[in-house]
């Protein structure tokens, strides 16, 4: 087949896939779900147990602050753990975890629930109250999941800060959440090395002094792990004390009570604390997971993301537990010690569904197919992709080599703010490589121009969601105005949600995501703001001003390029460049390290003083910068 024929090829699901699928007729069910949206969501919600049923499915009286399942009493832990203890699921494996050095831990639902109860008791003993925000900063170890679930169980709100973030990123998030309790670890393993976290946590606690209690898991046993008397406690010591017990009551929460805050990058330097709730989030993550990955009791599910991002929250932790699935989790790098690490684990644990990012796929594809082919991957039934557009070449490698042309790829488009999948195939959907295909049930999604007119097939426009859904973010912590401004202002008249992405819809109604329309970068699938990188750079004493842009990168999606104006007395040098790159790593984390730093004398700005990153980007890529009439000079 020629390349262009290849690109047009549609991949139809096999008879076997169709026979097994929960939903056979997407079109009919979709139509039903948008015509009777509230009835659809009420039916889904009825699959969960509620302490008290809701009075109203959707409350639209204070748009855009929608409320779902109003009057309902629940707790996500009741559905994720407690109810399973009443059935045979109690003895099922909830979590298989493998550390990078090869250590293994396995928890049944009963054991996981017991550990969660014990830690819930510890938190209660530390005075943690319902509604209080607890910050969690950990490597990918089971205790991270246990800590999240324990917070939820007592009605506290968790704020997980990705373990790859550094001092300033952590300090800023602790401060915004006004957290009194921090849960961390001495460190974790990455690429055969010990990564120390407690030192970063200590430094962050110096910068944001709200923390009174810090609980640390001993994972790597490091020497320079300073513990302050009366503030610092070891996890294992607390869990070994009588106060931990073996069982704990689950706090009854309102459907609309906050479950967690997750910080994500936006267009300003200050990260946004996106708020999700117990009720709607339970329903939405459960429903999307059930239909899209067609999850069945016998499945072993592996979402190879970090629990510190939304993908991990929704689809490592909550949705799989609600569905009573078996979760696989792995601590370290995909290619350590060799590029077959993932494939050996798929084989060893008999994984049925693998969900990961295009960057990870491209990264492993680089090593060639033989690393995959050595392993028996016949257990795989479905594959998934998330975080950035997947290029057709990587899609086909994933499909043909990893999935042996047997496993449909669920390319799921969604965001921290949406809580769960928004545009996604189902197993029965004919697939086009690179397209996230069609809206999930209940959602009317469109690509429009500035005035809100739908674009013609094939034309690029702005992606909007035209209706509320149960998994939607409720607000931004401490900043409801920003919530309105960022997501609801652009199409205020129509009442549509602005996703911040551009996209195309083709003749068959398939969605093709192009990328962000704001100053948000996707580096290896991780979300970062230009402004965060810029403020890290200007916090260095040699820098006056900085602009950061994302340029297309074959492996990572975006590569960060930064333009820096130095203070007058400073001279550009290779050493200074290296120092600035390291400074960004120290402040934000390794994922934010600029690939290139360019010293300049001035930056293109609008007359009102805003940096025109678009112009820098066009220049760097040798393209026409477009309309520059607002440029200052
Ligand atoms: C991008 C990650 C193309 C998109 C779950 C979105 C995608 C941003 C896809 C949200 C996909 C996510 N195809 N682009 N399948 N999934 N994106 O909040 O730009 O970390 O707006 O959530 O990732 O990133 P976030």
pLDDT in tens, 453-501: 999 999 999 999 999 999 999 999 999 999 999 999 999 999 999 999 9
**For residue 306, pLDDT beyond 80:** yes
Which pLDDT belongs to residue 222? 85
C-alpha distance from residue 191 to each of 163, 306, 335, 338, 348 (Å): 15, 15, 8, 10, 20
Residue 304: predicted pLDDT = 97
For the cut 90, the answer to whether the pLDDT of residue 435 exceeds it is yes
Q: Which atom of ligand 1 is nearest to the CA of 436?
A: 15
β-strands 187-190, 596-599 pairing: unpaired
Question: Cα 116–214–237 angle (5° rounding)?
Answer: 60
Q: Is 257 left (phi over 0), alpha (psi -120 to 50) or beta?
A: beta
Binding site membership of 339 for ligand 1 (Cβ less than 6 Å): no
Provide mean pLDDT across the span 137-155.
98
Is 90 exceeded by the pLDDT of residue 622? no
Q: Which residue CA neighbors atom 4 of ligand 1 most closely?
A: 388
pTM comes to 0.96
Ligand 1 neighbour 421 (Cβ under 6 A): no
If one counts every other C-beta atom within 10 angstroms of the C-beta of residue 544, the result is: 12
Mean pLDDT of the chain: 95
pLDDT of the residue at 7 = 66
Q: Mean pLDDT over residues 51-57, rounded?
A: 98
Return the sign of the alpha-carbon dihedral for residues 585, 589, 590, 592: negative
Q: How confident is the model at residue 606 (pLDDT cuts 50, 70, 90)?
A: confident
- Asked if the model's pLDDT at residue 281 lies above 70, the reply is yes
Q: Is 272 in the pocket of ligand 1 (CB under 6 A)?
A: no
Nearby residues of 413 by Cβ (< 8 Å), 6 or more positions away: 386, 421, 422, 423, 424, 436, 501, 511, 513
Per-residue pLDDT band for 8 (boundaries 50, 70, 90) equals confident
Say how many Å lie between the CA of residue 607 and the centre of ligand 1.
Answer: 32
| 345: region left, alpha or beta (phi > 0 left; psi from -120 to 50 alpha) | alpha
Mean pLDDT of 258-270: 89
Give pLDDT tens digits for 496-527.
Answer: 999 999 999 999 999 999 999 988 999 998 99
Q: In this predicted structure, what is the pLDDT of residue 633?
A: 56
CA angle, 241 then 107 then 201, to 5°: 60
How would residue 608 be classed by pLDDT, with cut points 50, 70 and 90?
Answer: confident
According to the model, what pLDDT value does residue 2 have? 59
Q: What is the pLDDT of residue 268?
A: 76
CA of 170 to the centre of ligand 1 (A): 23
**d(Cα 311, Cα 392) in Å, to the nearest integer?**
22
- pLDDT tens, 238-247? 999 999 999 9
**What distance in Å separates the CA atoms of residue 369 and residue 348, rounded to the nearest whole number?**
19
DSSP 196-249: E-HHHHHHHHHHSTT--EEEEE-SS--S-----TTTEEEHHHHHTSGGG-S--P
**Above 90 in pLDDT, residue 627?**
no
Q: How many CB atoms lie within 10 A of CB 567?
A: 11
For the chain, state the CA radius of gyration: 24
DSSP β-ladder status, 557-566 and 596-599: parallel
* Ligand 1 within 6 A of CB of 512: no
pLDDT in the model for residue 6? 65
**Could you tell me what percent of the chain has a pLDDT over 70?**
98
Whether 419 lines ligand 1, by a CB cut-off of 6 Å, is no
Assess whether the C-beta atom of 325 lies below 6 angstroms from ligand 1: no
Check pocket membership of 501 for ligand 1, CB cut-off 6 A.
Answer: yes
SS3 275: strand
**Residue of the nearest CA to atom 15 in ligand 1?**
413
Given this model, what pLDDT does residue 626 score? 74
User: Does 548 score more than 90 pLDDT?
Assistant: yes
341 pLDDT higher than 80: yes
Distance in Å, CA 17 to ligand 1 centroid: 26
- Whole-number Å distance, alpha carbon 361 to ligand 1 midpoint, is 16
Q: pLDDT per residue over 384-413, tens digit each?
A: 999 999 999 999 999 999 999 999 999 999
pLDDT at 224 exceeding the cut of 70: yes
């Amino acid at each position: 087949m020629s390349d262009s024929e290849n690109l047009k090829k549609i991949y139809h699901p096999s008879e076997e896939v169709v026979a097994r699928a929960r939903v056979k007729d997407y079109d009919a069910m979709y139509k039903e779900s948008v015509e009777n949206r509230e009835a659809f969501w009420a039916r889904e919600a009825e699959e969960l147990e509620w302490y008290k049923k809701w009075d109203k499915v959707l409350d639209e009286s204070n748009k855009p602050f929608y409320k779902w399942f109003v009057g309902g009493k629940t707790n996500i832990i009741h559905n994720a753990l407690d109810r399973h203890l009443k059935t045979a699921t109690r003895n099922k494996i909830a979590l298989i975890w493998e550390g990078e050095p090869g250590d293994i831990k396995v928890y049944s639902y009963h054991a996981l629930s017991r550990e969660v109860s014990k830690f819930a008791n510890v938190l209660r003993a530390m005075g943690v109250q319902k509604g209080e925000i607890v910050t969690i900063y950990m490597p990918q170890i089971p205790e991270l999941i246990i800590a999240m679930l324990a917070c939820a169980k007592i009605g506290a709100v968790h704020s997980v800060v990705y373990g790859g973030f550094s001092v300033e990123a952590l300090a800023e998030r602790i401060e915004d959440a006004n957290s009194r309790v921090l849960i961390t670890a001495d460190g974790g393993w990455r690429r055969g090395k010990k990564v120390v976290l407690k030192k970063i946590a200590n430094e962050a606690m110096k910068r944001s002094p709200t923390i009174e209690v810090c609980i640390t898991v001993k994972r790597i046993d490091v020497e320079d792990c300073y513990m302050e008397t009366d503030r610092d406690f070891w996890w294992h010591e607390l869990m070994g004390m009588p106060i931990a017990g073996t069982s704990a009551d689950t706090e009854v929460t309102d459907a609309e009570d906050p479950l967690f805050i997750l910080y994500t990058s936006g267009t300003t330097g200050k990260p946004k604390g996106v708020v999700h709730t117990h009720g709607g989030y339970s329903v939405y993550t459960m429903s999307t997971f059930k239909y899209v990955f067609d999850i069945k009791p016998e499945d072993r599910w592996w979402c190879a993301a970090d629990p510190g991002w939304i993908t991990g929250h929704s689809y490592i932790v909550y949705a799989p537990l609600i569905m009573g699935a078996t979760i696989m989790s792995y601590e370290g790098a995909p290619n350590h010690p060799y590029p077959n690490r993932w494939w050996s684990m798929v084989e060893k644990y008999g994984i049925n569904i693998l969900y990961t990012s295009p960057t990870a796929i491209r990264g492993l594809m680089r090593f060639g197919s033989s690393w995959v082919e050595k392993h028996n991957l016949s257990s795989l039934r479905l594959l998934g992709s998330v975080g950035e557009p997947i290029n057709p070449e990587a899609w086909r490698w994933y499909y043909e080599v990893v999935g042996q042309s047997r496993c449909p790829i669920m390319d799921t488009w969604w965001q921290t703010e949406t809580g769960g999948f928004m545009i996604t195939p189902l197993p029965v959907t004919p697939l086009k490589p690179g397209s996230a295909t069609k809206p999930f049930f209940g959602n009317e999604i469109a690509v429009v121009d500035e005035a809100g007119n739908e674009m013609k097939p094939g034309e690029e426009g702005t992606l909007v969601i035209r209706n509320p859904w149960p998994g939607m973010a409720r607000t931004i912590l401490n900043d409801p105005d920003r919530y309105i401004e960022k997501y609801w202002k652009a199409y205020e008249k129509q009442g549509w949600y602005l996703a911040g992405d551009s996209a195309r819809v083709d003749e068959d109604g398939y969605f093709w995501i192009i990328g962000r329309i704001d100053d948000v970068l996707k580096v290896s699938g991780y979300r970062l703001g230009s402004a965060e990188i810029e403020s890290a750079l200007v916090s260095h004493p040699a820098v006056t001003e900085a602009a950061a842009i994302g340029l297309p990168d074959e492996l990572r999606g975006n590569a960060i390029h930064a333009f820096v104006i130095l203070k007058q007395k400073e001279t550009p040098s290779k050493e200074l460049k290296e120092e600035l790159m390291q400074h960004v790593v120290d402040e934000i984390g390794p994922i934010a390290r600029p690939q290139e730093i360019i010293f300049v004398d001035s930056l293109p700005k609008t007359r009102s003083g805003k940096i025109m990153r678009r112009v820098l980007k066009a220049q760097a890529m040798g393209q026409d910068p477009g309309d520059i009439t607002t440029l200052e000079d």
